[in-house]
Structure 1
Amino acid sequence: MGVLSGFRVIELAGMGPCPMAGMLLADMGAEVICVDRGVNADPMYAKDMSRRGKKSVVLDLKSDRGRELFLKLVSTADVLIEGFRPGVMEKLGIGPEPCFEINPELIYGRMTGWGQDGPLAKNAGHDINYIALTGALHAIGPKGEKPVLPLNLVGDFGGGSMFLVMGILGALLETGRSGKGQVVDAAMVDGVANLMWMCHSFNAVGLWNLAERGTNLLDGAAFFYDTYETSDGKYLALGSIEPQFFSQFVERMGLDKTVFNGSAQNDPSQWPSLKQELAEAFRQKTRDDWCALLEDSDACVSPVLSASEAPHHPHNSARDSYLPIDGYLQPAPAPRFSRTPSSVLHGRRQPGADTRSILTAMGIRGDDIDQLEADGTVACARAPETA
């Protein structure tokens, strides 16, 4: 039984941040019901891990009867999450007001890029746009070169999904005391701005240059915090910041201690030349040779693994950090709980796989469900897929 066992979450089908948020809530034990629009023909959908652990009901939210069924479902829920542009849910007649009328304790989670208000609120956008507007994209990349895209991890998932989940959990705690629901406005620009807190803190005391990337402690400028190519064309990640870790790295590498010392580590003017020396040293052995020498220590050196290599690293294997679900390896639920562990209840379900059972639990008779299906208000998949 996960920490959210007994809570019901309604998720409006979408892309990216909302589905991940729903996945995390399902992993923690919540009953997550995804309201789908119909059959998804996208080939990626067949292996969409964000669908794991969720039930599926297909409703036509553009029909009066479909909205009526949706609001009846919302009346049984603790949380609703949606990722549409501002005003879309209101236009459909299922915005916060009608939902709160039937369920005053509902947590109404809204996931957008720009937020529910502001000059850009109704504009289209993607991860790249949100991290651009918050200074995060500008900060990533080598000095004098163009910004480097950090996949869509920072905006969509770091600034989006994680802040939506945090907001929902916080609101659930408050509702437990007040008995009142509320709207959680989770905007990726707000989340990413918070992710940049350390850079702003360092800048405030003169230890970070916000205007120029590739010149700071953690952005690849420092020789002791960067990646290095090995003789087999692979890479190592080095992060020996603290003096005691740096000294162990120097010792294990067999480097000249008169050159690689604390004074040099704290002198940015020496970083470029020492980086060249380190690059040449690392090119003398393979990645695995260096790992055998350095990884089992406090030198803070790790292999740069591909996503296909990562599940098979001894540490990840020992912790069962990846699980076989739906015929391929997926990251295991996180974080871990000592008494109420998270788990993946089942793999992806077909759209509408749970429509009939959910409507039946709402008190709708079988022949009425048949009629709703016949007129297109709902869709029912006959054979739910399980892991």
Structure 2
Amino acid sequence: MTESVESGDQHSFTGPLSGLRVIEVGSIGPGPFCAMLLSDLGADVIRLDRASGAGLVGPNADFRTELLHRGRRSVAVDLKNPAGPEVVLSLVDRADVLIEGFRPGVTERLGIGPEVCAQRNPSLIYGRMTGFGQDGPLAQAVGHDINYVALSGALSMIGRKGEPPTPPLSLVGDFGGGGMILALGILGALYERQRSGLGQVIDASMVEGAALLATAFFGFSQTGTWNRERGTNIVDSGAPYYDAYETADGKWLSVGAMEPHFYADLVSLLEIGAQLPDQNDQSEWPAMKKVFADAVRTRTRDQWISAAEGLTPCIAPILEFDEAPHHPHNRARGSFVTVDGLVQPGPAPRFSRTAATVDRRPPIPGEHTAQALASWGLSSTDVDGWLASGALGRSERESPS
């Protein structure tokens, strides 16, 4: 079973970033993912949502189930209200990090750009998340994950032979090349700040982050070890011993037996050795794939896993989202947690002394406006004034302080 917790208003802040204060200017995709990573590791993250009209982009319409927002408190701010920027700058006075995901120049126009923030707090790390970067011909262009991964060169390599490039969910641009790279940049800047005492601006571009993830393949493509045609290489579904195959029960089995000794065990498991030419004879790969597919289809997915015990064929079941949390390995490690009834991946990586945790569900916009600001030392007089002016908003179900 997954670890189950009921979230409360008191965050444990047990992780290695305990004591770090982060402002997240509400955005979508990579910015929230970066803030989630920092929050999972113990940072106190206040998310600034719109005081009115806050919405989600994508299939989810309920803030309480938007898992990228887990672990933090929400303050509702109207940045177009004359007093709105002062709310943010008052938090900047007390913050270590600010994360924003607007197009270049927007926070400057709103009065919360990096120069203004640095004047208020010279040690602030200012993280900027965009698709194309803060400058360059496309800096102001609009786009989404697929566009950034396309421009990076990575998307051209993903897909099966004879088929169009395949969008890899939003994993390569938004999350791996975006939010995770920004989090890495923030941690790097925090380390440098220990020497200089100064903050700096992090310019994280999803185009550049996606390209960085594909570094090895840029190398392969220039040394004659990577075919330009998709689906004809070892790890892009070209090799018969590195692919996904349907099983007898309509489920799927992953196969990744690249090394000769693992390949030998795979061939033995499937009982197809007599039918196969040399492992790396690429001219024979299409025919070999049919042999592999026909063999795998003779048993169910779980039967293959059982049959492989004691061998090293590098196979694993391709689990559905609702299966993965219940796999014995994932259960043994507590890889998934359940918070307020929502099953979700737990924090990663693991720390030997300062365990990372998730103990607060995603907030409703404005759910913690007064109590979050008070916990950062803002006066009740200022908060009441901003509420009266409309610079701040609050949810009807704001948690008590």
Tell me, yes or no, if the aligned pair for 1:17 and 1:111 is still in contact at 8 Å: yes
Q: Which residue of 2 aligns with 1:59?
A: 77
Q: Which moved more, 1:105-114 or 1:339-348?
A: 339-348
For 1:361 and 1:343, locate their aligned partners in 2 and report how far apart those are by CA, in whole Å: 20
Partner of 2:231: 214
Match for residue 110 of structure 2?
Answer: 92
- Aligned equivalent of 2:333: 319
Per the alignment, in what secondary structure is the counterpart of residue 138 of structure 1? helix
Q: Which residue of 2 aligns with 1:230?
A: 247
- 1:250 equivalenced with 2:256 (yes/no): no
Correspondences of 1:1-387 after superposition (within 5 Å):
1-38=14-51, 40=54, 42=56, 43-209=61-227, 211-256=228-273, 258-260=274-276, 264-294=278-308, 297-361=311-375, 364-381=378-395, 383-384=397-398
**Per-residue CA distance 1:326-375 (angstroms, 9 max, x = gap):** 32101101111111110013112222222212333465544553332122
Aligned-residue sequence identity (percent) comes to 51
Are the equivalent residues in 1 in contact too, given 2:178–2:205 (CA < 8 A)? Answer: yes
**TM-score of the two chains, using structure 2 as the length reference:** 0.91
CA distance in 2, matches of 1:364, 1:246: 63
Q: Give, in whole Å, the separation in 1 of the partners of 2:310 and 2:195.
A: 48
Q: CA deviation at 1:312?
A: 1.3
The structure-2 alpha-carbon separation of the partners of 1:178 and 1:366, relative to structure 1 and needing over 3 Å to count, comes to closer
Structure 2 residue identity aligned to 1:176: Q
Q: Secondary structure at the match of 2:149?
A: helix
Question: Aligned to 1:241, what secondary structure does the other structure show?
Answer: coil
Bigger drift between 284-293 and 14-23 goes to: 284-293
Q: Does structure 1 conserve the Cα–Cα contact (< 8 Å) formed by 2:64 and 2:361?
A: no
Across the aligned residues of Structure 1 and Structure 2, the Cα RMSD in angstroms comes to 1.8
Report deviation, 1:248. 1.5
> Which amino acid letter does the alignment assign opposite residue 197 of structure 1?
T
Unaligned runs of 5+ in 2: 1-13
Q: C-alpha distance in 1, partners of 2:257/2:289?
A: 13
Q: Contact 1:227–1:236 (CA<8 Å) still a contact in 2?
A: yes
How has the CA–CA distance of structure 1 residues 232 and 22 changed in structure 2, closer, same or farther, with 3 Å as cutoff?
same
Is the CA contact 2:81–2:390 (under 8 Å) kept in the aligned structure 1?
A: no
Structure 2 residue matching 1:349: 3-state secondary structure: coil
> Is residue 55–residue 349 contact of structure 1 (8 Å, CA) maintained in 2?
yes
Q: Residues 277 and 384 from structure 1, CA distance in 2 versus in 1: closer, same or farther, beyond 3 angstroms?
A: same
Displacement of 1:5 in angstroms is 0.5
**Would the alpha carbon gap of residues 363 and 315 (structure 1) be closer, same or farther in structure 2, given more than 3 Å must change?**
closer
Greater RCO (CA < 8 Å, at least 6 residues apart): 2
**Contact 1:240 1:249 (C-alpha < 8 Å) held by counterparts:** yes
Distance 1:157 1:18 in 2: 9
